[in-house]
Structure 1
């Protein structure tokens, strides 16, 4: 991206803020550090269990990614970088630390998108550095069996989809869908974060990493809004916010974890009923 475009974005943010209307918000820039686990292109510290000469793919050279992040951050843009493998996540955390030191202290809310497979100790770094962990629970449904094949049982069990560990590190855990890769239906993603039971399984995958219903709801609402600099507009039912909310078919929190037991009866956007 050219310097002119950076300066143009910066000028718009300074003139209008991030909210151009109730529907359009200025976000930031996104880049990719690696590929995906399914294609054996997520960047790993150790080789793939099922492909012992392959460590995955680093999409951009570190210097290029660093320079783009420096320029974006200096322009006032939030930076979000896709990182799935454990080495990719460590690389981006190192880079974010360097950029923050170089550009100075401010509320930048750097994000890592996915953060699916982490090395020992990496989850703690998210909280220590104030990095947003933008995670999509429903990817777990497809990845559990694949992770065991591709990483081996031990690595998969210790480092995959560390919802609870990230939250315990005081990271801002923001949950979402990654649509169109997975379903946009948030109730299913909330249930996945609570139960961690992949299709065909009878038990949870890494049960110690399950979230409570309250934590999953917070991560889908106010934390997700904060991850986008929108906590003053959306994310909770509070005076002065947009009154976006749903009415559910059940008031029993226990039913949330049961497939098909809870549905959306009505949706309100800006306080106005939009569904049905």
Structure 2
């Protein structure tokens, strides 16, 4: 907890109720869901500086109002602890605001049309970039498909001379037109890189689809195309990404963000912006796996920090270490073949020997480890590795709070190992609903029913379960993810997906607040509306804890408050 918060809280304890300090901000006349068992649900709260002073009845909190206090009449609205995005890609979210948004496109034709329009407006030599297409969510199937993906033929027609690079919604695949493939040096004889696949048709022709690390070949060419930018222009572009990401997060009630995989350069940018008060939200930055080597180990020790810039920056984790891919691209690493691809068990993206090296460095430097594991084999291999390292070290797995990111598909034999090892399940409920239409097709009923997105089972077993959106894979919309957590309703239908795995609404909210705080060692300063903790609050138009479940989708974020200051207002 920040020093000034401790001093203020101690002062409150001394003066008692007879001499209430003056608040900078008061929220009153609503429902305040504190998620703190000692207070639970009240009508109002007061904050001074960056800290919660008190929670209680409207009459009791009125004693904290002074001449300069900003008073917000909630008018019956719901105030909850600020949402903590438990798994996202911050710079990717900012980048998504600067390129074609393909999330929700209903067909390959709609994707091509967007590219066609953008290519007409693109300056000579520039690339067309986009993200968010997903072939399993189209209402019609393209005429030509290879391994379940479209080919780039129509992209070549729409933009014959402009390089086009479109990232799959999952982030684990991409499609590029021939101009982009040529810029990347990908041709008929280019071998698959380790941990990736260049998809080819029956005649061994490159289709433009790139899985896992193969997409990095085109990304490198795209990055090289910007090499002529000045250092000042590159810096301005990166700061713009940070600002755009913050605006999007705050508009959705997110006050803290757990960033999965930041480079040393990005972490330096976060620190500089945080120190001058320009980061806007609280950042838990994980060091990207590519930065972690024996040669950089000293640097990890140098940048490790907790609660810098008034609790705006913490660096004490490495993640997400990518063991496998995604279900949509059939690159999730499975113990048995896919039902709809009998010769395919997915991809081990990062060899387990390399994952072990990263994890051992994390042990040496007291860094939390967060491993991306979606398939049941990826989860088993990760848990096996964690178990062996904990045993070889000191056995204190629970204290280290190592995480599995996604933990989507588990073999029944591995479910209890999360709680037994003290491994946290950093999951994203929205994936369960958005992926539901093709889960049974990929894995069959038995594997899905026994091991898919086991929110309730893991929780009941004693594991800590977090929540998030994996933005920009999905929109950074906590309310949509909470709706899926509590209903498992498949979007656009009246059907539910493995409904026994739903959580109560209170538990759903806990998964997005106090549980995510625990995942970042921050439960003492955030996650509940407890006096003495940071005054991070999200105000919703509807009481999502009562009434019909549709409220979880229909509610809007009316205020986002970070450290007692209104950072976003829906006015």
The one of 59, 62, 65 equivalent to 2:352 is 62
Q: CA deviation at 1:89?
A: 0.3
2:486 paired with 1:189: no
**Paired residues for 1:38-53 under 5 Å:** 38-53=328-343
Q: 1:252 to 1:39 in 2, by over 3 A?
A: closer
Q: Is the 8 A contact 1:128 1:169 kept in 2?
A: no
Unaligned runs of 5+ in 1: none
**Paired residues for 1:158-173 under 5 Å:** 158-173=450-465
Match of 1:134 in 2: 426
Q: CA deviation at 1:256?
A: 6.3
Q: CA deviation at 1:153?
A: 1.9
Q: CA deviation at 1:97?
A: 0.6
**Paired residues for 1:103-114 under 5 Å:** 103-106=393-396, 107-114=399-406
What is the distance in 2 between the residues matched to 1:27 and 1:136?
22
What is the distance in 2 between the residues matched to 1:12 and 1:105?
26
What is the distance in 2 between the residues matched to 1:62 and 1:78?
17
Unaligned runs of 5+ in 2: 1-291
Does the residue aligned with 1:274 lie in a helix, a strand or coil?
A: strand
Q: Is the 8 A contact 1:124 1:165 kept in 2?
A: no
Does the residue aligned with 1:265 lie in a helix, a strand or coil?
A: strand
TM-score (norm 2): 0.46
Does the residue aligned with 1:257 lie in a helix, a strand or coil?
A: coil
What is the distance in 1 between the residues matched to 2:401 and 2:297?
18
Greater RCO, 1 or 2 (C-alpha within 8 Å, sep 6+): 2
Match of 2:564 in 1: 271
Does the residue aligned with 1:198 lie in a helix, a strand or coil?
A: coil
What is the distance in 1 between the residues matched to 2:315 and 2:544?
37
Q: Deviations over 1:79-109 (max 9, x none)?
A: 0000000011011001001111122244211
Q: Is the 8 A contact 2:316 2:366 kept in 1?
A: no
2:318 paired with 1:29: yes
Q: Is the 8 A contact 2:433 2:497 kept in 1?
A: no
Q: Deviations over 1:47-81 (max 9, x none)?
A: 00000011111112222211221112211111000
2:522 paired with 1:230: yes
Q: CA deviation at 1:200?
A: 3.5
The one of 128, 138, 156 equivalent to 2:448 is 156
What is the distance in 1 between the residues matched to 2:345 and 2:433?
24
Q: 1:2 to 1:153 in 2, by over 3 A?
A: closer
Deviates more, 1:229-238 or 1:164-173: 229-238
Match of 1:86 in 2: 376
Q: Is the 8 A contact 2:561 2:568 kept in 1?
A: yes
The one of 274, 278, 296 equivalent to 1:5 is 296
Does the residue aligned with 2:369 lie in a helix, a strand or coil?
A: strand
Q: 1:251 to 1:145 in 2, by over 3 A?
A: closer
Does the residue aligned with 1:152 lie in a helix, a strand or coil?
A: helix
Does the residue aligned with 1:26 lie in a helix, a strand or coil?
A: strand
What is the distance in 1 between the residues matched to 2:415 and 2:475?
26
What is the distance in 2 between the residues matched to 1:200 and 1:261?
14
2:436 paired with 1:144: yes
Does the residue aligned with 1:25 lie in a helix, a strand or coil?
A: strand
TM-score (norm 1): 0.93
Q: Is the 8 A contact 2:333 2:376 kept in 1?
A: yes
Deviates more, 1:51-60 or 1:253-262: 253-262
Match of 1:20 in 2: 308
Q: CA deviation at 1:214?
A: 0.8
Q: Deviations over 1:160-212 (max 9, x none)?
A: 11100110111110111111111111111111100001124323211110010
What is the distance in 2 between the residues matched to 1:188 and 1:200?
13
Match of 2:496 in 1: 204
Deviates more, 1:75-84 or 1:52-61: 52-61
Q: Is the 8 A contact 1:132 1:227 kept in 2?
A: yes
Does the residue aligned with 2:385 lie in a helix, a strand or coil?
A: helix
What is the distance in 1 between the residues matched to 2:556 and 2:548?
9
What is the distance in 2 between the residues matched to 1:254 and 1:165?
24
What is the distance in 1 between the residues matched to 2:294 and 2:531?
39
Q: Is the 8 A contact 1:191 1:256 kept in 2?
A: no
The one of 85, 90, 96 equivalent to 2:386 is 96
What is the distance in 2 between the residues matched to 1:10 and 1:100?
21
Larger radius of gyration: 2
